[in-house]
Amino acid sequence: MDSFLISYAICVVSLLTIRISAKEFNVLSYGASGNGITDDSSAFMKAWKDTCSEAASSATLVIPKGKQFLVHPLIFTGPCKSGTINVMLSGTILAPNGPDQWNASDLSTWLAFEGVTGLSISGFGTIDGRGKGWWDRSCRYHPGQGCFTQAPTALRFQNCNNLKMLNTNFHNSPQTHVLLLGCQNVELGFLNIQSPGTSPNTDGIHIQFGRNVSIHNSQIADGDDCISIGDKTYDIKINDIKCGPGHGVSIGSLGRDGEAVQVNNIKVKRTGRGLVQNVTFTNINFTAVENPIIIDQYYCDKPNSCKPTDTGVHINDVRYSKLIGTSQTEVAINLNCSNNVPCTGIALDNVRLELIFTVFVTISYVLTPGASGATSLFNVVDYGAVGDGKTDDSAAFSKAWKATCNAPSRNPILIIPATKIFLMKPVTFSGPCKSTSIHVLMSGNIVAPNSKMAWKGFHINRWLAFTHVNGLTIIGSGTINGRGAAWWSQPCLHKVPKGVTCKGPTALTFYRCNGLVLKGIRHINSQRNHITISNCKDVTFSNLHISAPKTSPNTDGIDISGSSNVQIRNSFIGTGDDCIAISSGSSHINITGIACGPGHGISIGALGAHEEDTVEEVHVRNCTLKGTMTGVRVKTWQGGVGNARRISFEKIRFIRADSPIIIDQYYCPSRVNCKNETSGIRISDVSYRSIIGTSTTDKVINLSCDQNVGCTNIQFNYVYITSTVPGKKAYAFSFNAHGNYAHTRPVVKGLQA
């Protein structure tokens, strides 16, 4: 069982009040009141003592949901008898409200775990440091009598190996939120760390003397470094972090050894000796950041007090790759290395940063002897685009695209500059192009005509389209606004006979574009579906924000058809239809880290409307669906031929979703003249694993398989879904579905082996 699965299993124990084999020690059973006023410190220590002394293979300290526990400074010490210690933190832990209520002489730490091996913390609970009372008396901002130069760290782990902390919230620590000291083999994931941008020294996570630490899929906003890495740290991996406000992700300030890390931003203290090497920053998006990239070997926290020295930390093999975004400062890249110990092996590859107010682009390749590359820039303004949101800029974009596509350089770039709004009528950007690597740097905004009458003379099936363009990369922080409200109530351009239906334009279409990358853009209010991927290979979409009102019809987020090797990750999609829909001819589709809702969830199908439809190797992981009309579903028409196979839904969380899990082989949305055929799409090898959440309906699992063909090898493992309907118990329905289930509630009784 992997770490994520363990965290989810712990979480669902709390949700469903079922018991796992681990022995549990609930702080309420030891006298904790949980009213947020009474001091529950003693009860916590008694419960910890019994948890740590338990000889079973796994012991769990339970901090239950719906309670607020006031706790004064505590240290939970090990070693413990069990090799696996779980803390199921579902409630809220409150610190004393400011320094006047602090009853300990040690101001360095509020909560600490020391020498505990195999510790796992999860449960969606909150640790609230109530730090405002400390910030208001910080000597940094409020010098004078009675100020504090030090404030407590909210949670310290010291010498805790094989540590996992998942799905935990931190609010308003007096100083650093999480401190790792001398810990090895650590995973921190799905954390939400929040304090005001003005709160002093409230680092999100600080690592010192650590090895093999993974921090991933978290949001950190505070008054200091989101993540900081100190001396003697090795093998640190940081992925999928949303950082800000704060001071970014930093290495330093160092005077000794630090190596093998994957982060951004380097601060190195000039005094001292040592080494920083093998550092990689990749796939990072900056939004309105001051000083995005820094190496500073002259760092001094007290200006004019640091003396020059002949020694220094050697910085070697630092690589920046695929970095994009905007800077609030004109100097976006600052490599300030020592005269005595210069930096070596610094490489920048595909780095594109621009100033918020005046466009500029920095494009560099690996800075080693012999490396070179020619790049041409094509700014749409230079081709006549006005960018006032009123003038039709379609012709200027077409001219700029033609020049970009015909450029013989290795990396031509089409620039859509910031602070401008470009009105565009339907345009198709066609290839093939001379270069195998075409970039569009989209920092400005594109809007559709505000009236349907502006579409006269154009086909209304699509607005913006890229066709036959291989190696296309579109990146930036700009917005595509379809202004779709005029189309939602009546998608026909002209009056049509009664009974005739029309479809509005797809906002952005990619047709036969292999090696496609779309990253960072915002897409709102499409006329119909926002993005269509058709007959494309090797596609990566990430960090997108797609939104339209939940009442807007047919405004799918992303539709995929006839495409393979598609990755969609780390994006928000909330519309009036499917967040993501996968249609016939698609294979090897990977969807991860999607926040979906409102909308109709993530769908495969509907298949079977054509002679033969097949979808295979679709894998959906680490997604949250909130307030969706359906959850994850496979839908097919009666009478189809083909397959839907090798499909997995894993680590999915539903929040008040309607009909979370559906296989529907009787799909007929009109409910009129529905077929009743003897043939059907064959659905097989579909797995649901590590899924939790709530449903607004009591039928939370619905497997309606074809009466003739049926569904085969349908697997459920660790699936726990409850109903939000008062007095209604969740249940599962299964017809002609064959497979197995384990650790699943509600049980899928009709699932035949």
Handedness of CA 652, 657, 663, 669 (dihedral sign): negative
In the numeric block, the tokens 């077409």 are attached to 398
Is there a contact between 490 and 460 (Cβ–Cβ < 8 Å)? no
Q: Within a 10 A sphere around the Cβ of 672, how many other Cβ atoms?
A: 6
Strands 564-574, 109-114: parallel, antiparallel or unpaired by DSSP? unpaired
- Identify the bridge partners of residue 282 per DSSP, sorted by sequence position: 321
Beta strands in 291-400, from DSSP E residues, in sequence order: 293-299, 313-327, 333-336, 344-355, 377-379, 388-392
**CA–CA distances in Å: residue 8 to residues 38, 220, 279, 398:** 31, 22, 32, 50
Residue (of 84, 151, 147) closest to 121 by Cα position? 84
Number of Cα atoms under 13 Å in the Cβ half of residue 632: 27
Count Cβ neighbours within 10 Å for each residue of 265-300 and write b for 16 or more, e otherwise: bbbbbbeeebebbbbbbebbbbbebebbbbbbbebe
From 171, 177, 247, 314, the catalytic residue: 247
Q: Token digits for 141? A: 């901002």
Residue 747 to residue 717: CA distance in whole angstroms: 11
Number of Cα atoms under 13 Å in the Cβ half of residue 330: 1
Is there a contact between 5 and 12 (Cβ–Cβ < 8 Å)? no
* Helix residue ranges, H only, 56-143: 132-135
Q: Which amino acid is at 411?
A: N
Which residues, other chains included, contact 192 with Cβ-Cβ below 8 Å and sequence gap of 6+?
A: 168, 169, 170, 218, 219
Q: Which amino acid is at 1?
A: M
**CA–CA distances in Å: residue 269 to residues 206, 300, 392:** 17, 7, 53
- 11: helix, strand or coil: helix
- CA 710 to mean position of chain CA atoms: 36
Residue 44 to residue 62: CA distance in whole angstroms: 10
Q: What is the DSSP letter of 680?
A: B
Catalytic annotation present for 247: yes
Is there a contact between 319 and 292 (Cβ–Cβ < 8 Å)? no
Give the residue numbers marked as catalytic. Answer: 247
